[in-house]
Chain A
Amino acid sequence: MNAPVTGAVARGGAVSRLVAPLQLTKLRLSPLAVVIVLTVAGFFLLPNDLLYAGSSSVVAGLVGLGLFLPIAALRELPLNGAGMAGLAAYLFAYNGSQGGLGHHLLGLAIALVCVTGLSLIGGLAALAVTGLYFVVASLVIQVGIEKVIFSIPVLTGGASGRSVYQPDLSGWFGTQRCIYLVAAVIVFASMYAVHRLLKSRQGFHAVLVGHMPEGASATGLRNWVVKMLVFGVSGVIIGIAGCLSAFVNGTPPPPFSFGIIYSVIFMAIPIASGMRDLSSILLVAIAFVGLPITLEHFSISIPPNLLSGVILLVALLLGRHRDRIGHMFRGVVARLRGGAAELIPEPEMELSGMPVPAGNGAPSPSVLLSELTMVAPPVVTDGSRTRAVGALEGRQITVRFGGVVAVDSVSVRVAPGERVGIVGANGAGKTTLFNALTGFVPSEGTSLLGGEDISSWPPFIRARAGVRRTFQVPRLADILTVGQNVVCGHGRDSAERSERIAWLLDHFGLAAMRDVPVVALPFGVRREVELIRALSVRPQVLMLDEPVSGLEDEEAERLVEVLLGLQAKEGWGLLVIEHDLKFITSISQHLMVMEDGHLVAQGPIDTVLQEDEVRRVYLGETVTV
């Protein structure tokens, strides 16, 4: 009885070690603080003629912010930021130049709709092609805007351009100060909105879809919707930035300013900022856009390319070595105070959630196994109306990869409350069978859930219907924390769901790791996190692919107890692939043995393990005939 308690305490110690480096020092030079100070100081201190530099900087920062979303969340590099901003600027000016608030609002609406539409086209491209192919696809959009749309003189206004309304003010709060204020307020509001989005479940979903699409599908997420949402938001932000650029300049800049070169530079801004937090993007943009204008104002002539190159390089180095520089800074301040540097690096990421508060490294309250049988978590469903109830069944499942038959006419059935294990050597086809049943690979044969044919259902629909699974290599978003990963998935964010997740985290001894980025966790713990995510809603059938590989014996025993206890309460079916004989015999009622894509034997576990063929295939024993 005491073993799990000991395990929890031991894990608590490990947690302390993991969490310790994440604790914050009191002394911290936050990029956000720097940005706010610079912006506010700029508003009060900058002379009228330099406020333009400030306004232009924040607008460039807003374009960078728009591009940050697909880069950070979906890991796609769009090369069409400048073109979209330019299109927004021209559409806004086209309507705005006709005068009146109504025309300006109409221009803003048209610009946002068109640019968001274009961004969604980019999103559609990202559904078909990814990585460098997406870079080229976005380049195609950029070239299309630049060479085709910008060559329409009616839109761009020709050489004279079109004028956009600017307030006519004089004195200290003059025109430029007013424009600066408007631009800064809009940019900070957008930054706050993006920050909130990234901290919301929708934001976690976007990151999961971008980093582990299979993992996202396995939780019931409709990946294409999430991707389109990210591109849509990105388009709105870039659209606003484009309109602002016309407003700041009084007329849209010439088409050259929205060319491919600027697209490359806009894309470089968020990357060079280190991709760690949103405020750094604004800092890089201020350096990149504001500095040259300011230097020019003071008649300091530095070649623009030299300045741009040096700024990008410095931003890159600062972004990359931010922790080291921060530590050096803290060390210097500490020495000045006569003490030693307090603490170390701070691997906080914008996408990894809130930093861990001091003292949270303590082990979670230990849980006795007896509690498991007494208290069960709330039963949460994901709210899908298509939910079927009953057994998961695969009939004559066959999977072919070209000429190779990876699974050959295998039938499997897991009824509610039943526990079935699958064993076999590497390459036997176990995981491929899992992939076929969950819809991740095309297969022949029929898959049924509660008697309903689900063969044509994509993975996310099967997940929503209750076919939940884990993978051999956990499909988690590394840059998210444990807590952020486990809340990902289809369904409403209810109090019951939160309670269930908290219960699961507690019973797996991971409560204290809730705010630790997954990237910092050992392999075995990642498996448990993925399992908790799969169990965050009540499944119909839970499918686990080698759940105890990487776990200590103690942890494996605990896993068995938690799974058995929960299954007894909720009555779902369990299908497990595992090489660990001790685990498989302790958890399975029925056993299937596979070899080279075929089913060699199946039946009650005791009977199957006695068969000579099974002993040969699975245990490697020489059978004397």
Chain B
Amino acid sequence: MALFVSALIIGVFLGTIYGLMAFGMVASYRISRVVNLGQAGIAALGATVYYWMTAQWGAPVIVSLIGAILVGALVGGFMGWCNLLMADWPKGFVMIFTLCVTLLLFAYVDHILPPTTIAPVSPFGTGGFNFALTFVAAHQIGTFAVTLLVVTAATMLIRYTRFGLFVRAIYDDPAGAATLGIPLSIYVIGVWAMAGGMAGLAGILISNRTLLDTVLLLFVSVYALAGAVLGGLESFALAFGGGVLLGTTEGILGGGVLGQMPPGTEALGTVVIMAIAVFYAGTKRRHLAHLQT
């Protein structure tokens, strides 16, 4: 039981991080039709800035957190601007451009970080409590709460504000939105900046538990992409849900149910679940496309 609860908590924690990144990916995908692999690089940069401000400058946690998110948003906005410059490029090329950004940010992060692998301090402290014979860290609870809060706020922003209305208009028909006088560039940059900020936050939250490892962050972003795709790449709620589902499944199967089996077996479950999910989502979507035809 304790093993299961522990695996569940780790899974939900991972899932919320995937979900947060997936949310940002869906936002940038919907406004530009580009798969944003830059999320990994921004996550690494956000975590590094946060670590630098807290550990090297001694800045308060909240200031460091806001600073790191702002830096993430800035880089995200820059990528959005680049995306506007590449408007006539094939989308696959722009996707590779976002990968370039990630690699360059990884290089920068690896350059400025101390040679030892580091873990930034948790914004939620080191405390925790026991539940069902399992220690639940305050960081895990805090991550879950903050992620949920951010995703809810972003959803409300897009659904109920003038900003969101214009963003949705661009999602549906960029050319039509432009004819209505909506300044596309501002909104595209804005949405990419929002995605960047989310990636920065995700980087801070995950690095506390997994250490600041750039390769791992790319892995996380690829999983987030999988979550976003499983959610249909159109719905924010489903993308977040897809990420959470993926992480939770991975946690439960990897750490709990199949964790005691020979090496490799624990990943088998995740592979099977992912395969079923992608075929379900993919074929369902094709069915809908067929109806539209």
Contact = CB atoms under 8 A, between A and B. Distances in A.
Contact of B226 (A136, A149, A151, A310): A136
Contacts of A144: 267-268, 271
Contact of A316 (B93, B104, B225): B93
Tell me what chain B mostly uses at the interface: helix, strand, loop, or mixed: helix
B282 A260 contact: no
Interface in B252-293: 263-265, 267-268, 270-271, 274-275, 278-279, 281-283, 285-286, 291, 293
A537 interface: no
Contacts of B102: 309
B103 A151 contact: no
A361 B225 CA distance: 48
A144 B267 CA distance: 7
A19 interface: no
Interface stretch (A124-132, A575-583, A616-624): A124-132
Interface string A61-75: 000000000010000
Interface string A51-90: 0000000000000000000010000010100000000000
Interface string B90-132: 0011011101111110111011000000000000000000000
B96 A271 contact: yes
Contact of B225 (A129, A136, A143, A150): A136
Contact of B282 (A137, A147, A264): A137
A429 to B, nearest CB: 14
Interface in A286-318: 303-310, 312-313, 316
A373 B88 CA distance: 48
A245 to B, nearest CB: 20
B264 A147 contact: yes
B282 A306 contact: no
B106 to A, nearest CB: 4
A140 B96 contact: no
B104 A305 contact: yes
B193 interface: no
Contacts of A261: 215, 218-219
Interface string A133-170: 11111011001100111111100000000000000000
Given A140-B274, A140-B278, A310 B104 contact: yes
B160 interface: no
Given A129-B282, A305-B104, A401-B291, A313 B97 contact: yes
Interface string A265-288: 000100110000000000000000
Contacts of B226: 136, 139-140
Given A143-B271, A151-B267, A316 B97 contact: yes
Contacts of A71: 92
A171 interface: no
A312 B100 contact: yes
B270 to A, nearest CB: 7
A129 B278 contact: yes
A308 B103 contact: yes
Contacts of A402: 291
B263 A320 contact: no
Contacts of B230: 136
B275 A137 contact: yes
B37 interface: yes
Contact of A132 (B93, B97, B229): B229
Contacts of B100: 309-310, 312-313, 316
A48 to B, nearest CB: 31
B222 interface: yes
B271 A147 contact: yes
A260 B226 CA distance: 13
Contacts of A129: 278-279, 282-283, 286
Nearest to A139: B226
Given A136-B278, A271-B92, A260 B103 contact: no
In this complex, which of B100, B101, B111 has the most chain A Cβ atoms within 10 angstroms of its Cβ? B100
B35 A151 contact: no
Interface in B31-65: 35, 37
A140 B103 contact: no
B281 A305 contact: no
B83 interface: no
B147 interface: no
Contacts of B267: 143-144, 147-148, 151
B254 to A, nearest CB: 9
B6 interface: no
Contact of B106 (A132, A271, A305, A313): A305
Given A143-B270, A148-B264, A133 B103 contact: no
Given A151-B263, A264-B37, A316-B96, A133 B104 contact: no
B233 interface: yes
A127 to B, nearest CB: 10
Nearest to B92: A271
Contacts of B281: 133
A312 B97 CA distance: 8
A119 B219 CA distance: 22
Contact of A264 (B99, B229, B270): B99
A305 B103 contact: yes
A56 B106 CA distance: 24
Contacts of B103: 305-306, 308-309, 312
A302 to B, nearest CB: 9
Contacts of B37: 264
Nearest to B264: A151
Contacts of B16: none
Contacts of A153: 263
A310 B278 CA distance: 33
Contacts of B283: 128-129
Nearest to B108: A306
A136 B242 CA distance: 13
B64 to A, nearest CB: 24
Interface string B194-226: 000000000000000000001100110010011
28 contacts: A79-B222, A128-B279, A129-B282, A133-B282, A136-B225, A136-B226, A136-B278, A140-B226, A143-B267, A144-B267, A147-B267, A147-B268, A148-B267, A151-B264, A152-B263, A152-B264, A260-B219, A261-B219, A264-B37, A268-B96, A303-B110, A305-B104, A305-B110, A306-B104, A306-B108, A309-B100, A316-B100, A319-B93
Given A303-B111, A313-B104, 5 more contacts: A136-B274, A260-B219, A306-B108, A310-B104, A316-B97
* Among all A-B residue pairs, the 4 with the closest Cβ atoms: A129-B282, A147-B267, A309-B103, A133-B282
Interface of B: 35, 37, 89, 92-93, 95-97, 99-104, 106-108, 110-111, 214-215, 218-219, 222, 225-226, 229-230, 233, 263-265, 267-268, 270-271, 274-275, 278-279, 281-283, 285-286, 291, 293
